[in-house]
Structure formats: structure tokens, C-alpha cells
Amino acid sequence: MGILHSISLKEVYETAPANAGFDKYLELDTGQVYTGGLLIGNIFSPITTQLEGNEGQDVKIIGNGAILDLQGEQICISYCNNILEIDNCIIINGNIRYRGINLTDELIEPTGYVEYCTFYNTHDYGVRIFGAGAGIRLERNIFVNAIETGNDFTYINGSSMEWLPTGANIAISIFYSTYGIPELVDNWSFHDLPVINSDSLRHFVELCEYG
């Protein structure tokens, strides 16, 4: 029997072809371990108060039962009007984020879905939807043991904020009127410690973008 080596998810992303209307179309191998995270799109600079980095791309990840060990990182589609679709992955040691922003003259929101994925011992959250909501669907996922890592950070100045607790399996934006409500369909959430599992805010929480 051969030894299964891990593969960098970023390297697979960089070499992935365009297909089916997506700029990057990743079809992963069953049982293969892929390591590290992905940043798709821009970042917000608290120094210049501008969006900086690369333009977003439409991305589809077909997992086929692959294991994504994010190693403390994220798969994040950030500050772009693009699509991220992920299905049939096992996701550990990180989280998935959809991150948008309401600028003075423009609403920038990623869309897409996460479906048929298993999240286990994820860091901060399983999925966090930030500055976005409409056009995002979480369907038939299993979320187990999102790990509380302290307070999350505001995008405005990078400060830790007590109103941004981590440890929830699913976190969405509280600003429904601006960003819309994501579609949550038949997801299952669990924490193996009874005292944590009995706390509803460790399963689902609404968070402010600003802290």
C-alpha cells in the first residue's frame, strides 16, 4: 500500500483550469489530504481604508470526499462579487468565510454555497458569513466542535473585540436589511462536551461586522 502524502490546496488552485463557467474548477481526489487555505479576492487595508490585492474569481471545489486540513487558515472569498461553491469535503483545523463590504457607493458581496461537507474541530467557526448573506446557501452540512480561539478581529482596525466571540459552528451577519439572509437547509450542529452543546450560541450566532 502506498503512502498518501498531503498536497497544497493553494498549488492545486493555482493550476486549476477554467470550466463550466468558473475561473477555477478544482476536482479533488477521494481521501486525499490537501493542506493550507485560500484567499480569493481582496483584503481591506486599515491604513489606506481601501481594498487591496487581487480581483476575485469564480471558484468551484468538488471534494469527492477529500480532506481539507486548513492548518489554522481559511478558505475565504473576500470583498468581491464572485462565487465560491464547495461540496463533499471534510474540513478540519480552519474555517470557510464569505466576506463582503458595504462601501459608500457600492455593495460588494460574494455568493455561492457549501453543501454536503463535514466540519470537524474547525478554528473560530465552521462557516462565517460577514458582510454578505443573500445568494449564499449552506445545505446538508455536518458541523462538529468549532473551537473557541478568543475574540475575533474587526476588519476596520484589526482589533480584537469582545462582541465577536468565536466558537460557533455557523456565524452570519446581523445586518439582514443590508446583506440579506443566507439560506440554511438541513444542517446538523453538535459539540461533544454537553455544557457547550447545550449553549445555542455555540451552534448558531449572528455577529456584527464592526464588533
**Spans of all domains in the chain:** 7-207
pLDDT (0 to 100) of residue 158: 79
Residue with cell 451552534: 203
Closest CA to 68 of 99, 41, 94: 94
| Confidence (pLDDT) at 1 | 42
- Check pLDDT > 60 for residue 209: yes
pLDDT in tens, 72-100: 999 999 999 999 999 999 999 999 999 99
Largest CA distance in the chain: 58
- Residue pair 197/168 in contact by the 8 Å Cβ criterion: no
| pLDDT at position 211 | 57
User: Which ranges of 45-186 does DSSP label H, i.e. alpha helix?
Assistant: 176-179
Of the candidates 207, 190, 187, 188, the one whose C-alpha atom is nearest the C-alpha of residue 199 is 190
The per-residue b/e assignment along 83-92, b for 16 or more CB within 10 angstroms, e otherwise, is bbbbbbbbbb
